[in-house]
């Protein structure tokens, strides 16, 4: 009987078929046009979305890109932050630096069974094929943006929860199959 080893990404290693995935979540708030950022900031202000982000991410290890990290107003109390940067000399105050998504996920999983990816656009695009759960807040209007959330195929996901607050729809989706 062969044992299946898994990479940090949760893919099956030698002897495995790759069908099993380790838990990895992603949280994002998107405009109807998939905008997620404008000049390194969120293109909207939403107290409801920020409260949702806090509740969902509290106690988790968060994986984010350098630009997203630098856009934060301060440390995220109660969460371990792993910052992706291509810059070898980059140092993140109140965060741990990783130089690849694999490394970031490996560091996150050392303390969290289900780390959460939280931006930006490049990190979302790279992580999405590995994600098992989406916490997706959709705002029912378009925004000016220069960073966009990747398209998802809804057929690959099943919605397990939906809650509406004004123009926001808070959705939880689990990878189908």
Q: Which three-class secondary structure string do you get for 34-84?
A: CEEEECCECCCCCHHHHHHHHHHHCCCEEEEEHHHHHHCCCCCCCCEEEEE
Q: Which domains does the chain have, with CATH numbers?
A: 25-175 (3.40.430.10)
> Which residues neighbour 3 within 8 Å (Cβ) at sequence distance 6 or greater?
15
What's the confidence (pLDDT) of residue 73? 87
pLDDT per position as a tens digit, 116-165 = 999 999 999 999 999 999 999 999 999 999 999 999 999 999 999 999 99
What's the confidence (pLDDT) of residue 143? 98
């Amino acid at each position: 009987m062969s044992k299946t080893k898994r990479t940090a990404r949760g893919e099956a290693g030698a002897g495995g078929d790759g069908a099993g995935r380790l838990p990895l979540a992603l949280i994002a708030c998107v405009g109807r046009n998939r905008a997620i950022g404008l000049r390194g900031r969120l293109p909207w202000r939403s107290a409801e979305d920020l409260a949702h982000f806090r509740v969902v991410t509290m106690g988790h290890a968060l994986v984010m890109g350098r630009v997203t990290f630098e856009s934060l107003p301060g440390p995220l109390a109660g969460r371990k932050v792993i910052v992706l940067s291509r810059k070898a000399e980059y140092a993140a105050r109140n965060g741990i630096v990783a130089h690849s998504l694999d490394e970031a996920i490996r560091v996150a999983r050392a303390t969290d069974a289900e780390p959460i990816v939280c931006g930006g656009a490049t990190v979302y695009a790279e992580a999405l094929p590995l994600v098992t759960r989406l916490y997706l807040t959709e705002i029912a209007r378009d925004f000016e943006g220069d960073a966009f959330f990747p398209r998802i195929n809804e057929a690959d996901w099943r919605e397990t929860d939906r809650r509406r607050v004004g123009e926001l729809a808070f959705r939880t989706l689990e990878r189908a199959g």
